[in-house]
Amino acid sequence: MLFLQIPLLAVLLTAGDNDDAFQEEFTFKLIHSSSFYNHSWVKSRNSLWLGDLQTHGWDTFGRVIFLRPWSHGNFSKEEINKLIEFHRLFSIEMPHELHRHASQWQLKYPFDIQIIAGCELHPGEGKVVFLQVAYQGTEFLHFQNNSWWPSVQDEIKAQLMCRRISQYHIANKIIQRILSDTCPRFLSSILDAGKFDLQREVKPEAWLSTGPNPGPDRQMLVCHVSGFHPKPIWVKWMRGEQVQQGTQQSGILPNADGTWYLQVFLDVEATETSGLYCRVRHSSLGGQDILLYLEHHHNSVGWIILAVMVPLVLLTALAFWLRKRW
Ligand SMILES: *[C@@H]1O[C@H](CO)[C@@H](O)[C@H](O)[C@H]1NC(C)=O
Ligand SMILES: *[C@@H]1O[C@H](CO)[C@@H](O)[C@H](O)[C@H]1NC(C)=O
Ligand SMILES: *[C@@H]1O[C@H](CO)[C@@H](O)[C@H](O)[C@H]1NC(C)=O
């Protein structure tokens, strides 16, 4: 456990003292998926992502939706329209081509095609581009150096397909340029335009609850942490200085406002809950971790019992006294 915490802490500490420039690597990517039901029916979905954050979507009429105020970056209208047009043509041509060659390439309806394409910027000016295509959920070809390559060597489907689509010289040149030139330029420009939003620090709120009982005489403790930004966070169930071994974490899920939400669980013996607390460490808290003690529950229950008991005892005493006097 300790081995895991040290790198995490290092990440949090470096995230804490970021100056104007971003320290991390950033990825901008298109996610496309198409479900081919039969020879005449295909349903496609597209979205664009900056890391975990969706920046663009498409509506049912095929129009691009800019989801953030900075989703245009500093690109001109013309340049953006050219990209949208290329994507639109691709979205029409790609299914046509697959339908046309479905039997030759041994594609069996219904099938799914997924494409992920984009670029990665590293702090030292380095960049990486990628374009991968999956068939039925498994990667089977990729684009590199102006050309298409099978990702699985002995797959006839992939080889036949690569041979064919590598012949679209003009389209492939455009794809190469979009990946290695347009994508990194656009990525830096939205990082710049969205800096205020992307680097904002929002403090988490945290609360405790209990989940469904995991078994007889056991209790599931849940620590909820919500509304924080940026995403890196450290949340553990602890006793004293000891992180509890059974601590389990949900995925970090997005809230609608661009902040994040997380649940951290601990499955314990119902009699072993004393002294447990949930500890939340986040860059927005400036070293002041949030500590939520389970004891408060018991204490408040204790207070409620006391608050009910005392008047009850007094009333009984009063009743006895009154009866005596009658
Ligand atoms: C193709 O699939 C769609 C959706 O399932 C269906 O409505 C349509 O009738 C099918 N067309 C053919 C030619 O099978
Ligand atoms: C890409 O092509 C260039 C020049 O044609 C070559 O130097 C390089 O090794 C190639 N890279 C890969 C990964 O094939
Ligand atoms: C757009 O933004 C990028 C990165 O912030 C910058 O390098 C480039 O000069 C800008 N281009 C224009 C036309 O403003």
pLDDT digits (tens, 9 = 90+) for 152-187: 877 888 999 999 999 999 999 999 999 999 999 999
| Residue type for position 269 | E
Residue nearest (by alpha carbon) to ligand 3 atom 12: 74
Q: What is the pLDDT of residue 22?
A: 57
Q: What does the CA dihedral 185, 190, 193, 199 come to, rounded to 10 degrees?
A: -120
Q: What is the pLDDT of residue 5?
A: 38
- Euclidean distance between CA atoms 220 and 308, whole angstroms: 28
Q: What is the pLDDT of residue 304?
A: 54
Residue 180: partners with Cβ closer than 8 Å, 6 or more residues away: 119, 127, 129
User: pTM, whole model, 2 decimals?
Assistant: 0.74
Q: What is the pLDDT of residue 321?
A: 77
On whether the CB atoms of residues 222 and 210 are closer than 8 A, the answer is: yes
Q: What is the pLDDT of residue 1?
A: 36
Tell me what the mean pLDDT of segment 286-313 comes to: 70
- Euclidean distance between CA atoms 153 and 291, whole angstroms: 53
pLDDT band at 20 (very low <50, low <70, confident <90, very high): very low
Tell me what the mean pLDDT of segment 4-14 comes to: 36
| Residue type for position 218 | R
- Helix, strand, coil abundance in the chain, percent, nearest 5: 35, 35, 30
More confident residue, 23 or 265: 265
Tell me what the mean pLDDT of segment 299-304 comes to: 51
Sketch out the chain's domains with CATH numbers: 2-198 (3.30.500.10), 205-325 (2.60.40.10)
Q: Which of 163, 274, 296, 289 is nearest to 225 (CA)?
A: 289
More confident residue, 306 or 111: 111
What is the distance in A from the centroid of ligand 1 to the CA of 65?
29
Predicted confidence (pLDDT) at residue 4 exceeds the cutoff of 80: no
Tell me what the mean pLDDT of segment 268-272 comes to: 90
What is the distance in A from the centroid of ligand 2 to the CA of 176?
13
Predicted confidence (pLDDT) at residue 75 exceeds the cutoff of 70: yes
Q: What is the pLDDT of residue 307?
A: 65
Residue nearest (by alpha carbon) to ligand 1 atom 13: 40
On whether the CB atoms of residues 234 and 12 are closer than 8 A, the answer is: yes
Predicted confidence (pLDDT) at residue 213 exceeds the cutoff of 60: yes
Predicted confidence (pLDDT) at residue 3 exceeds the cutoff of 50: no
Residue nearest (by alpha carbon) to ligand 1 atom 3: 41
Question: DSSP code of 229?
Answer: B
On whether the CB atoms of residues 59 and 65 are closer than 8 A, the answer is: yes
The pick from 130, 142, 145, 166 for probing ligand 2's pocket by mutation, whose C-beta has the most ligand atoms within 8 angstroms, reads 145
Q: What tens digit of pLDDT does each residue of 22-44 get?
A: 567 899 999 999 999 999 899 99
Residue 146 near ligand 2, beta carbon < 6 Å: no
Residue 76 near ligand 1, beta carbon < 6 Å: no
Q: Where are the alpha helices (DSSP H) in 206-257?
A: none
- Other Cβ atoms within 10 Å of 236 Cβ, number: 19
Q: Which of 211, 249, 210, 203 is nearest to 229 (CA)?
A: 203
Give the mean pLDDT of the chain: 86
Question: DSSP code of 181?
Answer: I
